Amino acid sequence: MSPLQPSSGRPGRFISFEGIDGAGKSSHIEALATWLRARGHEVVLTREPGGTPLAERLRELVLHVPMDPLTEALLVFAARRDHLVQHIEPALARGALVLCDRFTDASFAYQGGGRGFDLAVLNQLEQWVQSGPAGLRQPDLTVWFELPAATAAERRGAARAPDRFEAQDLAFFERVAAGYAARCAADPARFARVDASLPREAVWAQIEAQVSARPWA
């Protein structure tokens, strides 16, 4: 069998979960993994930054050590490259469904929107890091938890000690939310918008409906 031929007989698929801190995405990604496994899929659950030993070490630096925006962006994309090569691409090649808590849209939202970092540089990093024989690796589906920044801030306040992103002010997260909206507008077919202000059961119903509508789910 070719190393790129799915061992399951069906192609792998890549689903990312996105949203500002406090939107509630992490509490639903496990539920989606369970739902997909019940339908017979191999599911790989992972996150960014992170997902490999090296990327997890870089995650700790990005979340807790002060640095300038370029250093931050370079570390995030370095972690992403290792994650893709070591974990995501092999899983997709064997036909798994990969569920990732954040991917490149987060870089454009947080570093681009929140930090105001040069989008042209982020675009170049995206091309370098995510290009392969099949073209530019992007999720097949991005579930975007859309929530007003003020509501997300209220939720974060009751959660845990903040990292260096979570500690940012409301204006930062408003820019992050605008960054996500811009990514969605640029590639609407890939995005599934979820109203994250609704009760948990209603949010899950939206996710289930969006994923069920995909022919490969």
Decide: residue 110, CB within 10 A, 0-12 exposed, 13-18 middle, 19+ buried: buried
Residue 3 confidence (pLDDT): 34
Q: Give tens-digit pLDDT for 62-91.
A: 999 999 999 999 999 999 999 999 999 999
Mean pLDDT over each residue of the chain, to the nearest integer: 92
Write down the pTM of the prediction.
Answer: 0.91
Residue 1 confidence (pLDDT): 30
User: Was 2 annotated as part of a binding site?
Assistant: no
**What percent of the chain shows pLDDT beyond 90?**
79
User: Was 21 annotated as part of a binding site?
Assistant: yes
User: Was 23 annotated as part of a binding site?
Assistant: yes
User: Was 20 annotated as part of a binding site?
Assistant: yes
Residue 9 confidence (pLDDT): 61
Cis amide leading into 6 (omega within 30): no
CATH superfamily of the domain spanning 13-213: P-loop containing nucleotide triphosphate hydrolases (3.40.50.300)
Whether the predicted pLDDT of 42 surpasses 70: yes
CA distance 50 to 76: 9
Residue 134 confidence (pLDDT): 82
Cα angle, residue 31 at apex, residues 97 and 46 outer, rounded to 5°: 45
Q: Give tens-digit pLDDT for 184-201.
A: 999 999 999 999 999 999
User: Was 25 annotated as part of a binding site?
Assistant: yes
Distance of CA 20 to the CA centre of its chain: 11
Are the C-beta atoms of 12 and 97 separated by less than 8 Å? Answer: yes
Q: How does residue 4 score in pLDDT terms, banded at 50, 70 and 90?
A: very low
User: Was 114 annotated as part of a binding site?
Assistant: no
Residue 44 confidence (pLDDT): 98
